[in-house]
């Protein structure tokens, strides 16, 4: 049975991968909890330590996709397959765009610290799901997940993202079966970004999930499950 490490994104927990764990019966799924780790490298080292087998497949969503790339950088010989969902490779921009991202993240962190994680989620998550899923049960599931986190955890993971490396040079070196997937209306990491990533990885498979925002694993679980199942058969 394949070991499948499923890596959550910013302030997400096992709920973000619950539909996949339920569907992918032929894989032994392991979902790390990042705790207060505040760098992508520390998270990747955790994945390598917690993987129950020497070789494993790894799928990462959003920040978890960046961790998956860092896992590959540290120990490419251990990675059987790689799946990059709703993610990116670029570092924090040095220009005004970088300052805007930093300021936006810090403003949300301030809300988390003063009003609580659910209040932060009410603002942040509205840009993370397809507009048709606002104020639906899926949106509530996202809010519940964010509310289970803490402001301290959120601050640590924001630091990991603000200090993220440029991972673009890794892509041409990836020789294992790779899936690159995003939602057609992902406002944070959209199709063009993923098309470029897939083009840079030898023999990558690209999947664009229709009617889907950033939280693809929860928004369109069946389509994501089908893409992952095909990837696991490669």
Those residues of the chain that have pLDDT short of 70 are none
Residue 209's H or E segment, with its range, is strand 205-209
Residue-wise pLDDT tens digits, 61-101: 999 999 999 999 999 999 999 999 999 999 999 989 999 99
Please state, in angstroms and rounded to a whole number, the distance separating the CA atoms of residues 28 and 127.
Answer: 32
Amino acid 149: pLDDT: 96
Decide if 120 contacts 154 (C-beta within 8 A): yes
For position 137, what pLDDT does the model report?
Answer: 96
pLDDT at 182: 98
- Give the domain ranges of the chain: 2-92+160-233
Query: Partners of 56 in the beta sheet?
Result: 79
Taking Cα atoms as reference points, which of 47, 50, 38, 49 lies closest to residue 70? Answer: 47
The per-residue pLDDT for 152 is 98
Residues paired with residue 180 on neighbouring β-strands, in sequence order: 84, 206
Q: 52 exposed, middle or buried (CB, 10 Å; 0-12, 13-18, 19+)?
A: exposed
pLDDT at position 11 is: 95
Residue with tokens 């009410």: 122
What pLDDT is recorded for position 203?
A: 87
* CATH number 3.40.50.1820 given to 2-92+160-233: yes
Which structure tokens are listed for 186? Answer: 């992902």
């Amino acid at each position: 049975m394949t070991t499948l490490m499923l890596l959550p994104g910013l302030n997400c927990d096992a709920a973000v991968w619950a539909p996949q764990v339920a569907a992918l019966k032929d894989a032994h799924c392991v979902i790390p909890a990042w705790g207060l780790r505040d760098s992508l490298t520390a998270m990747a080292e955790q994945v390598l330590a917690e993987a129950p087998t020497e070789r494993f497949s790894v799928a990462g969503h959003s920040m978890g996709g960046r961790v998956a790339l860092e896992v590959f950088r540290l120990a490419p010989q251990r990675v059987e397959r790689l799946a990059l969902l709703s993610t990116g490779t670029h570092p924090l921009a040095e220009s005004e765009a970088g300052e805007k991202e930093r300021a936006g993240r810090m403003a949300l962190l301030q809300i988390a610290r003063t009003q609580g994680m659910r209040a932060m989620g009410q603002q942040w998550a509205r840009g993370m799901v397809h507009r048709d899923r606002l104020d639906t049960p899926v949106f509530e599931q996202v809010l519940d997940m964010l509310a289970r986190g803490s402001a301290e955890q959120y601050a640590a993971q924001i630091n990991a993202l603000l200090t993220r490396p440029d991972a673009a040079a890794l892509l041409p070196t990836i020789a294992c079966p790779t899936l690159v997937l995003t939602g057609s209306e992902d406002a944070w990491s959209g199709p063009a970004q993923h098309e470029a990533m897939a083009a840079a990885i030898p023999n990558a498979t690209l999947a664009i999930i229709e009617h889907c925002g950033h939280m693809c694993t929860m928004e369109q679980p069946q389509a994501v499950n089908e893409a992952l199942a095909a990837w696991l058969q490669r």
